[in-house]
């Protein structure tokens, strides 16, 4: 969440800052602002809402300068208004910040005693006030920033800009990512390599606890102990940072449509020559329990994978949402394995849980979409899902690619533990490889689903039901609908219906039943009949055999191609995504940037 950009350039930076912030819109924000140093003078402009509002402001109130910082804010402390928008300034210091300063109240009290009082509700302003206090005492900009950083508790990415310092940016990273971009006589800092892509392909990622003094001549980086540090400069593939809609109305529509291709890429990478292609040293044979940790959609991917690991490999799994995991201080088996799934690889709760497991001497495996992310770098083994950049806040192609990689891992566990014979493995591999083609058939239902979505859009509540690995898919379908249409939706295990949720069912409540014709189909249909007996409006999503057996009396149905039983959730994700997308279109909501949400959640 939030986006940071800093530029020490050879040209006017205001338009460059705004353009870079546009590339970070997918992270989620509710206000934006920039600050520059021009002829030694620090100034700023801020606006509430979309970046277009900031651009309009800059037309009427230009902000010259060749050094500057910018920020898109997702409100945490204080409402989304101009006063709380970044950059925050106190005297000669301007600051942009991702994260949370946990001890800001204590610092405020100290600052008040020194005669410095905040003008906003934010924790970030405290950073600027503290740096100003140190500069008022005679410290240089570098000394004041270092002294300020030593006083902060919490998670943050910070970028400082100073009055009278047109060739200095100070960057710091603790728990929230920052990258430095190297140019020819120019330097850049960003919270995401995507923001830096128009300027350079040479990137240095700051490690945890690092701070850097950046000038046009380069960057001096210091570690958490204050020692000079050498961080590797990497070349990034600029093609992988291209953010375009490619003719689609929304990024989400584009990313839904890309799933057959990106899933095919992931499967081609991990399934080669009829065999599993995974790094040497990944061995589940001695693993007695697998710990799976994630947040949001990635958590539901892990929930599906739990069924796979237990059914295909006989491997007991414990799964938890990352924000709860470490706080219950779970005991972990010595030499155990912990699996972390994150689209961005920067999810704060997941990263904190990873470090907890590392301290418990667990072997850490990460499934991520960004190979250079913090989670990937701190894991013992990182497996890319190869989905490409996902801009839409509601995850689609990352979810199905996560499932594909987790399915391959479950097969590897089954082979290692002697539960999957060569013949069975060949069948599973063939089933996975058939999925991109089946997905194309599912995508052809888009127009039909758009018609159904007109009815769903009128509802105030929607239920999703599923059994077995389709239960987590029901949870994911409900989450998608909530995220982008703002309709209250809940996912339930079908067998739990009569234990409470059935009280919600009436003729105004659509109930989406995800039910491939598998060994649990008849039980799911029994629960569906209970809904219909209470006038619930059932949308049955099944295959030809399922619809022939049970579609009588339903409000509507969707026919998917037959799919191998274990991997049905990967295919059935498509109609769940399309239903959410078309419902949001029918309601006129912001599909790619839904209210209150952020793509990359880098605070707890």
Active-site annotation, residues: 2, 599
Tokens found for residue 231: 């961080």
- Tell me if 527 sits within 8 A of 474, measured CB to CB: no
Tokens found for residue 16: 């460059």
In three-state secondary structure terms, 509 is coil
* Cα–Cα distance for residue pair 344/396, rounded to 1 Å: 13
* Cα–Cα distance for residue pair 236/179, rounded to 1 Å: 12
Nearest to 401 by CA among 516, 256, 280: 256
Nearest to 178 by CA among 152, 149, 158: 158
* Cα–Cα distance for residue pair 275/430, rounded to 1 Å: 11
295: left (phi over 0), alpha (psi -120 to 50) or beta: beta
- What are the backbone dihedrals phi and psi of residue 144, each rounded to the nearest 5 degrees, phi first? -65, -40
* Cα–Cα distance for residue pair 263/241, rounded to 1 Å: 19
* Cα–Cα distance for residue pair 221/281, rounded to 1 Å: 34
Eight-class DSSP state of 123: S
| Helix-then-strand count for the chain, H and E | 20, 26
- Tell me if 339 sits within 8 A of 304, measured CB to CB: no
Q: At what angle do helices 104-113 and 124-136 cross, to 10 degrees?
A: 40
Sign of the alpha-carbon torsion through 119, 123, 126, 128: negative
Terminal CA-CA length for the chain: 11
In three-state secondary structure terms, 14 is helix
């Amino acid at each position: 969440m939030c986006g940071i950009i800093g530029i020490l350039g050879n040209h006017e930076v205001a338009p460059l800052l705004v353009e870079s912030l546009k590339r970070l819109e997918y992270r989620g924000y509710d206000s934006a602002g920039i600050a520059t140093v021009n002829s030694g003078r620090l100034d700023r402009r801020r606006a509430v809402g979309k970046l277009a509002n900031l651009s309009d402001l800059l037309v009427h109130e230009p902000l010259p300068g060749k050094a500057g910082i910018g920020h898109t804010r997702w409100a945490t402390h204080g409402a989304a208004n101009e006063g709380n928008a970044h950059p925050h300034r106190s005297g000669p210091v301007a600051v942009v910040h991702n994260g949370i300063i946990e001890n800001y109240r204590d610092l405020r009290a100290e600052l008040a005693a020194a005669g410095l009082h905040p003008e906003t509700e934010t924790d970030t302003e405290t950073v600027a006030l503290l740096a100003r206090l140190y500069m008022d005492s005679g410290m240089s900009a570098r000394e004041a920033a270092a002294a300020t950083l030593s006083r902060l508790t919490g998670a943050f990415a910070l970028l400082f800009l100073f009055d009278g310092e047109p060739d200095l940016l100070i960057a710091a990273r603790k728990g929230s990512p920052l990258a430095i971009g190297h140019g020819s006589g120019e330097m850049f800092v960003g919270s995401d390599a995507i923001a830096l892509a128009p300027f350079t392909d040479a990137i240095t990622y700051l490690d945890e606890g690092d701070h850097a003094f950046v000038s046009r001549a380069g960057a001096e980086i210091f570690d958490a102990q204050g020692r000079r540090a050498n961080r590797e400069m990497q070349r990034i593939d600029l093609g992988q940072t291209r953010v375009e809609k490619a003719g689609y109305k929304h990024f989400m529509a584009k990313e839904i449509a890309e799933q057959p291709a990106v899933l095919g890429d992931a499967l081609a990478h991990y399934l080669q020559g009829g065999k599993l292609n995974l790094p040497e040293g990944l061995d589940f044979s001695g693993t007695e329990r697998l710990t799976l940790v994630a947040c949001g959609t990635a958590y539901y991917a892990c929930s599906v994978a739990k069924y796979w690991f237990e059914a295909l490999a006989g491997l007991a799994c414990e799964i938890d949402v990352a924000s709860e995991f470490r706080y219950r201080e779970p005991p972990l088996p010595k030499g155990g394995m912990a699996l972390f799934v994150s689209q961005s690889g920067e999810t704060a709760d997941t990263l904190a849980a990873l470090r907890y497991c590392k301290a418990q001497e667990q072997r850490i495996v990460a499934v991520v979409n960004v190979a250079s992310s913090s989670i990937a770098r701190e894991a013992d083994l990182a497996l890319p899902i190869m989905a490409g950049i996902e801009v839409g806040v509601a995850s689609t192609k990352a979810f199905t690619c996560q499932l594909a990689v987790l399915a391959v891992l479950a097969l590897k566990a089954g082979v290692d533990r002697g539960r999957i014979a060569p013949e069975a493995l060949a069948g599973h591999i063939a089933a996975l490889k058939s999925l991109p083609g089946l997905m194309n058939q599912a995508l052809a239902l888009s127009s039909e689903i758009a018609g159904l979505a007109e009815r769903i859009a009128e509802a105030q509540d929607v239920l999703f039901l599923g059994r077995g690995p389709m239960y987590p898919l029901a949870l994911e379908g409900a989450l998608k609908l909530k995220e982008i249409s703002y309709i209250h939706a809940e996912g339930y295990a079908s067998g739990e219906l009569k234990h409470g949720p059935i009280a919600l069912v009436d003729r105004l409540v659509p109930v989406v039943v995800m039910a491939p014709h598998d060994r649990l189909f008849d039980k799911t249909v029994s629960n569906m009949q209970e809904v219909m007996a209470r006038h619930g409006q059932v949308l049955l999503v099944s295959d030809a055999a399922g619809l022939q057996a049970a579609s009588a009396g339903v409000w509507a149905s969707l026919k998917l191609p037959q799919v191998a039983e274990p991997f049905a959730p990967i295919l059935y994700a498509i109609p769940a995504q399309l239903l959410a997308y078309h419902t949001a279109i029918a309601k006129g909501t912001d599909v790619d940037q839904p209210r209150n949400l952020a793509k990359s959640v880098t605070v707890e």
